Structure 1
Amino acid sequence: MSRGWWLRSVVIGVTGALPLVTPLRAQSTHDGRAGQTEVAIPRFEDQITIDGRLDEAPWSRAARLTGFSQFNPTDGRPALDSTEALVWYGPEAIYFAVRAFAPAGTVRGTLADRDRIQNDDHVQFILDTFNDRRQAYVFAVNPLGVQSDGIRTEGGGGGPGRGRGGGGGGGGGGGGGGGFSRATLGNADLNQDLIWQSKGEITEWGYQVELRIPYKSLRFRATEPRSWGLNVVRVTQRNNYQDTWTVTKRGLSSFLVQSGRLVGLRDLNRGLVLDVTPVVTSSLSGTPDDVTTQWRYGELSQAGADVRWGVTPSLTMNATINPDFSQVEADVGQIPGDVRFAVNFPELRPFFVEGNEQIDTPNQLVYTRRIVQPVAASKLTGKVGRFDLGVLSAIDNATYSANGSDQPLHNIVRLRRDVGTQSNIGFTVTDRREGGDFNHVLNTDGRFVIRDLYQASYQVAHGQTRSGATTHDGSIWEMSVDRTGRSWGFRNSIEGVSPGFVSRSGFVPRTDYAQGSMSQRYTWFGARGARVEQMTFFGSWSGTWAYRDFFERDRPLEHRTALFSSAQLRGGWNVNLTVAREGFGFLPSQYERYYVERRSGGVITDTAKYTPTGRVPGRQLQFRVSTPQFRTFGLSAGTTIGQDAEFLEGSQARRFDYNASLDLRPTPQLRASLILLHQGFRRVRDGSTILQTDIPRLRVEYQLSRAIFFRFVGQYEARERDAYRDPTTEDAILFRSDNGTFTRSTASRTNRLRADWLFSYFPSPGRVLYLGYGASLEEPEAFRFQQVQRTRDGFFVKFSWLYRVP
């Protein structure tokens, strides 16, 4: 009897306690290769520690994403290495993790600076919070949890534009070197920094990472329930492979449209989104006195503030007063491929970078570096329904006006509407006023995707400019058609910029021309593990006319026929080869100020208007090879040789260029990069040098921790240019000024060295302490380092601390 009572007591006790135990939710698995890409992710109230270990309860119940497929070099195949992603969400943040399996000793991971993990193994979470398949956040981490983040936009700003994805034939929206959409970080704008947490660790079986992304850092629709697009990308450096969770086809016009979906997200608590960032800067800069050569230093200190306010879940207002837009290192030196045109430097300033994708306009009709040193600025960006909106206003410092007294006022409005599932139409208005002068530009552009394979784009813009008593106007236009097939693609385009077009809010380096181009692409895919894993061939033709000549059906002023080939070899090696045949003519209008001395018996007897020579032929060979990212280094080098047009004198020249970049990672904390650039033009007629540029750049960083690093950047620019001569008579060329006087062309030589040292404490975006010193130096003979003279130097301190209102 006593034994039965004991058994009944145990049964009653256990069954009575069952309702008090929270049932464990089974972990759901979603295989990307099986098409299981719609995921109802679980919601947990748990607060966890982001430590990279994945040993807390929610991870055992999170949605599990498996079945990754290869994307590069060959799409559609099962991934070589196994990858498992985990995802769940809570009331204030969404959580991701990855377990990436790899052979022992093959993982590449360093304690890199933020946004500089492209040479490491890494995983990307591409999160489309509006589920519109047009823009997405990119959150990437390397095996040690170092972050990289930004925005990926399909279609390069909503239409055509130089440097956009798909250039060269058959490229798709969203980027596409070689005519494909790509999964690399290079297809995202990484200049924007968001606040989120991540950790990672390398294990004996590969590596694992853990992320927490707060909703305060995201924009998304206000309506519930929400669906977000998601793809997970894994990049492996030992073989240059890219894998994706969903089966992603390279030949389609969009990468984002092939994402999976997270469905059923509810009750996402952003709270009050208000970030206030006070900024204090102080600098001490000096130059030598022209007479006494003694150094004179001047001190400048200023305080400012940035404010970010989440007006709604989908709209953000930014404002800044007296901002600090100083740079902590010089821009990377560039050599223009064509000396007639200015070079473009990227926007790196935080105020302009955030939300920049909302005002981005094809052909760079919005180039925010035209706003040099604003006194105050504000910006509203986001999405309302099917409309993307960007409004920017800024008052610039009078120092950067034409007369030095009026403050330039900039206003930019960009509106883009979604059409269908992948297409859009955009409108942009830019206005710059300076006293009584102004420049207005009105633009419309569009991108239309047809059957996921074809893409048609257009852009038309008209500008009006008043400068003093003169008013003129002009237009820019472009149309293109792409096919983005897996093995075969093409791109045909036509564009033009009239002589009077000016965009003082944009970057349009060339006017008075029209250009047509055609290209065809064929891609061959090798077997897995083959010596050649992929080969791509491009055949292209382009012709360039003077703007009016194009409509009069004259022969093109310039033409180019080229065959480009690219091979990805086993182990991650890449080899590119291009052969091109060109022809160039010279517009007399570009040499209106050129005159020639006429001599008799060694004495100047007269001056005559200079007339450039006729057409000159050109032939070029370009070659490039890139190694895989080995554990301690990666190398890329290329060269261009042949005959080219030389536009300074309007003649033919022999051209020899080379460039090389070497990345060294001897330890996880220490890294160095060396870039070498050389360009040389020699006259065909006598072999003399008319133009030569050499730019070596060294960057060395030591990462003491994820938040602290020391950096040195040294850059040397040696530029040499000969005096211009008439190619026919070898007489000296003169330049005629507006008052009728003449100045003889003379040779010039500059050898400038810039050195920057920096200590950085950067625990999170908006919270930073910089201590730096920079110096500019010159010497008479290039690379002698014997008579180096310091011409300018300066110390600076910058402190900012973002306060996020709870």
Structure 2
Amino acid sequence: MSHAGSAGQFSLQVPYHADAASIDGDLSDPVWQHAAVATLNYETRPAENAPAPVVTEARVYASETTLYVAFSAKDPNPNAIRAHLRPRDDIWGEDLVGLKLDTFNNARLAYNFFVNPLGVQLDSIENELTKEESKAWDGIWDSAGRITDEGYEVEIAIPLSQLSFEDKPGSKQWGFELIRFYPRNTEHRLSSHKISRSNSCQLCQLGVVSGFEAVDLGKGLQLTPSLVAKGSREREQAPDSEWQDDNNVDAGLDLRWAINPSALVNATINPDFSQVEADAGQLNVNSNFTLFFEEKRAFFLDNKDYFDSQVALLHTRNIADPDYGVKFTQKSENHTLAFLGTNDNGSHFLVPGNLSSTVASLDEESHNLAARYLYTSSEALAIGAVVTGKKSDNYHNMVVSADVKYQPTAQDTLIAQLATSDTQYPDELYRDFCRVDGDCLQQVPCNSGDCGVNERVLRTHKDGAFGGEMYKLGYKHATRNYYLRADYESIGEDFRADLGFIEKVDQRRAVAGGGYVWYPEQSWFNEVELGGDWDVTQNQNGEQIEQEWEGFLVAEGGWQSFWGTGWVTRDRVGKRLDGSSLAIEGNTTEFTETRVWLESSVAPVTWLSAGVEIGFGDEIDIANNRLGDSLDVETELELKLTDSLALELNHNYYALDVDDGRLLTANLTDVRLNWQLSVESFIRLSSIYTHIERDPSLYLYQTPDRLSEDLGTELLYGYKLNPLSVFYLGYGDNMVSDDTYPGLTRTEQTLFMKMSYAFIL
């Protein structure tokens, strides 16, 4: 197999030294004199492989257990350095130094480690297969930094036990890049070597670091016991309702065993999978589709990227309340294998459709499994398979899939994925989605067009087991200045991926588009892109659901800014006129929407960043099946009030007008105040307030509440020695209001404590 990283790009021989560096941000430790030295001589963005504007020197060496890296980052104006005490993984936009490490040197996955001048860490996994970078992975490693009269210095120690690699005898060669982000009027990306914009594969362009002849991972064991205590109470919305108390204390244990450097076992017993930090607020108005929430739980995140394919067949937030779980991942130069198995005290899954989706929940314990295999014969070819399964007493879903990604040239990428599923729902599941009491299917047909039956009823009313298929094809040609792409996806009406997040079925979608990119020099703008696409979506009977044309113009420039505008014109169908039929033609009304959007974000100074997204124009009023006009404004503001105190404010405003007036106005405000007491500890106050006001007289088929409000608040103290050694103490509550009970009424209260400690053996 050819290697992705090339010594022609950059080469560094890592010396061995037994002594550990003292990780305190002070590079005067004598051990650094034994390290290999490299300089970051190139600016790869926004300039194209131009000489770096500032001097950055890196030193690298390794012991049997640890990789050590130190940076000396010179700055002609140290007062302009952007550095704050921030939560871990929340330091983009600040001065950073770090490294990219492809330990199998096959251009599939790379570890990213970054540190700001105060020692705050950010780590992630970069996946060349999906072109995504995920901050979900959290390794246990050490760092420290300090600002000096000449710039800043950073020290990093990465235990080799945190990395997966093939432990062959002798010297090892890993893909490698040293990186510095230098944000001033624009954000300069500095590198140890040149990066070509004519090559769409980023990990194919790494340099090579050699060494690591002697590796000692010890026992490879990491044990993390945890204790969770929670007291909560709930009541109905009526102010005189009785509180129902619930108190519990749970102990759990997580195990991480590196059998060898390339094979890892994770296991958990009685885990606490409650989330410590509240999800970001999302408005869910004038939409029939389910909201997506990111996974944040540690057990699922370790080597999460090993399960990824072109289609979202695994979304572990569908596993809500497990008692136990086990995960095995193994990676070699050519082969990647991953397996996950857990129980769940309930069964939760998406019920998809082509005009709506929802979540179904069964009060039955389920057993869940996922497996992934990927074969890479070179950096150009990857062939894989995915299997997922979810089963309870009266329900099951299994998916089998195969996928391929082929890059015949540095500019061309082809992808394909085929999947088949087998599913069985409980016989009475469809009744959960009836809009009338009793069995709504007994009232079909009816003349009113609405007998309590809807798409969710019809998608879940199945006789015995049923199967479906889906496939996806894609091609992209990308050069330095232009790109062309074409995609086609077909998802059968009976295809289900209940352990994943596929919310649309019974549709075929074709997309064709492209764009042109300029890289102006000596200009306030440093990158400008003009592009667009055409797409058409039909159901499996060939009936059109949507046809769309869109174009956009976006640019990056000074003040670390982004500017964009675009338009879209689409023909799209509204709700079904007769809910007892899944037909599109003759059963829906087609509307033409024309919308314009504007977007901008800036970070002109170190203590301020702000952004706004505005969309306006025609939009279907889904509830009433008519065309309206909407305005959607999303704003975000971050104020770093001091080096350790930051305020984040996000507000979403949405208004929908119809011919006779304002149908609804919705506001969502998400406020978070974070006081970072040190790199390890913080106090955070979060509040999410949703206010929706409707005019019931303008609704044609229902009479909703005029007003609904929801206010959730959380106060949290946290101490994180590392991502797994933590102490949390917090309080949260929730208040609601509607027409029946106006005025916010507290309905939930929770006081919780969690502690865990990772023992590395």
User: Which residue, 539, 552, 562 being the options, matches 1:564?
Assistant: 552
Give the conservation status (yes or no) of the 8 Å contact 1:240–1:628: no
The 2-side partners of 1:47 and 1:341 are apart by 53
Aligned match of 1:788 = 744
Displacement of 1:795 in angstroms is: 0.2
Alignment of 1:609-758 (within 5 A): 614-628=589-603, 630-683=605-658, 685-689=659-663, 691-720=664-693, 732-733=700-701, 744-747=702-705, 749-758=707-716
SS at match of 2:407: strand
The 2-side partners of 1:130 and 1:89 are apart by 17
The 2-side partners of 1:285 and 1:442 are apart by 41
Aligned match of 2:445 = none
354-363 or 668-677: bigger deviation: 354-363
Aligned match of 1:573 = 561
Change (3 A) 1:477 1:291: same
Aligned match of 1:12 = none
The 1-side partners of 2:725 and 2:488 are apart by 46
Give the conservation status (yes or no) of the 8 Å contact 2:17–2:34: no
Aligned match of 2:435 = none
User: Which residue, 526, 535, 541 being the options, matches 1:542?
Assistant: 535
CA RMSD in angstroms comes to 2.6
Give the conservation status (yes or no) of the 8 Å contact 2:225–2:758: yes
Displacement of 1:590 in angstroms is: 7.5
The 1-side partners of 2:575 and 2:403 are apart by 30
The 1-side partners of 2:145 and 2:276 are apart by 29
Task: Kindly indicate whether residue 183 of structure 2 is the aligned counterpart of residue 237 of structure 1.
Answer: yes
The 1-side partners of 2:464 and 2:612 are apart by 49
Give the conservation status (yes or no) of the 8 Å contact 1:612–1:651: no
Give the conservation status (yes or no) of the 8 Å contact 1:559–1:583: yes
User: Which residue, 463, 466, 480 being the options, matches 1:486?
Assistant: 480
SS at match of 1:764: coil
Aligned match of 2:173 = 227
Give the conservation status (yes or no) of the 8 Å contact 2:633–2:653: yes
Displacement of 1:643 in angstroms is: 0.8
Change (3 A) 1:547 1:335: farther
Alignment of 1:249-648 (within 5 A): 249-288=196-235, 292-335=240-283, 339-398=287-346, 406-468=364-426, 469-528=463-522, 530-549=523-542, 556-586=544-574, 588=576, 591-592=579-580, 614-628=589-603, 630-648=605-623
Change (3 A) 1:652 1:398: closer
Aligned match of 2:62 = 89
Change (3 A) 1:629 1:497: farther
The 2-side partners of 1:398 and 1:791 are apart by 24
Give the conservation status (yes or no) of the 8 Å contact 1:394–1:411: yes
CA offsets 1:424-471 (integer angstroms, 9 cap, x no match): 111001111111421111111111112111100011111111123522
What amino acid is the match of 1:793? Answer: Q
CA offsets 1:507-560 (integer angstroms, 9 cap, x no match): 1111111111111110111114x22222111121111112220xxxx6x43122
Displacement of 1:51 in angstroms is: 1.1
SS at match of 1:216: helix
Give the conservation status (yes or no) of the 8 Å contact 1:760–1:770: yes
Change (3 A) 1:404 1:566: closer
The 2-side partners of 1:749 and 1:291 are apart by 18
CA offsets 1:152-189 (integer angstroms, 9 cap, x no match): 11121xxxxxxxxxxxxxxxxx24xxxxxxxxxxxx21
Change (3 A) 1:296 1:467: closer
User: Which residue, 2, 24, 28 being the options, matches 1:55?
Assistant: 28
Give the conservation status (yes or no) of the 8 Å contact 1:125–1:140: yes
Aligned match of 1:116 = 90
The 2-side partners of 1:346 and 1:270 are apart by 32
The 2-side partners of 1:640 and 1:458 are apart by 33
The 1-side partners of 2:41 and 2:621 are apart by 51
Change (3 A) 1:708 1:101: same
The 1-side partners of 2:474 and 2:287 are apart by 27
The 2-side partners of 1:427 and 1:38 are apart by 35
What amino acid is the match of 2:621? Answer: E
Listed as ranges, the gaps of 5+ residues in structure 2 are 350-359, 427-462
The 2-side partners of 1:403 and 1:755 are apart by 26
Change (3 A) 1:338 1:287: closer
Change (3 A) 1:491 1:589: farther
The 2-side partners of 1:698 and 1:786 are apart by 23
Change (3 A) 1:112 1:547: same
What amino acid is the match of 1:135? Answer: L
Displacement of 1:724 in angstroms is: 9.2
Displacement of 1:780 in angstroms is: 4.4
What amino acid is the match of 1:189? Answer: S
The 2-side partners of 1:470 and 1:70 are apart by 61
Change (3 A) 1:613 1:151: closer
Give the conservation status (yes or no) of the 8 Å contact 1:613–1:651: no
The 2-side partners of 1:206 and 1:280 are apart by 42
Task: Kindly indicate whether residue 99 of structure 2 is the aligned counterpart of residue 152 of structure 1.
Answer: no
What amino acid is the match of 1:107? Answer: I
Aligned match of 2:104 = 130
Displacement of 1:778 in angstroms is: 2.0
Give the conservation status (yes or no) of the 8 Å contact 1:74–1:534: no
Displacement of 1:405 in angstroms is: 5.4
SS at match of 2:401: strand
Aligned match of 1:772 = 730
CA offsets 1:24-61 (integer angstroms, 9 cap, x no match): xxxxxxxx999561211211122221111111223233
Aligned match of 2:81 = 107
Change (3 A) 1:589 1:82: farther
SS at match of 1:358: helix
What amino acid is the match of 2:105? Answer: N
Bigger Cα Rg: 1
What amino acid is the match of 1:235? Answer: F
The 2-side partners of 1:420 and 1:724 are apart by 63
TM-score (norm 1): 0.84
Give the conservation status (yes or no) of the 8 Å contact 2:399–2:497: yes
The 2-side partners of 1:264 and 1:770 are apart by 40
- Percent identity among equivalent residues? 27
Change (3 A) 1:416 1:399: closer
Give the conservation status (yes or no) of the 8 Å contact 1:73–1:241: yes
Give the conservation status (yes or no) of the 8 Å contact 1:284–1:300: yes
Displacement of 1:647 in angstroms is: 2.5
Task: Kindly indicate whether residue 46 of structure 2 is the aligned counterpart of residue 73 of structure 1.
Answer: yes
What amino acid is the match of 1:383? Answer: K
Change (3 A) 1:541 1:95: same
SS at match of 1:364: coil
Change (3 A) 1:399 1:498: closer
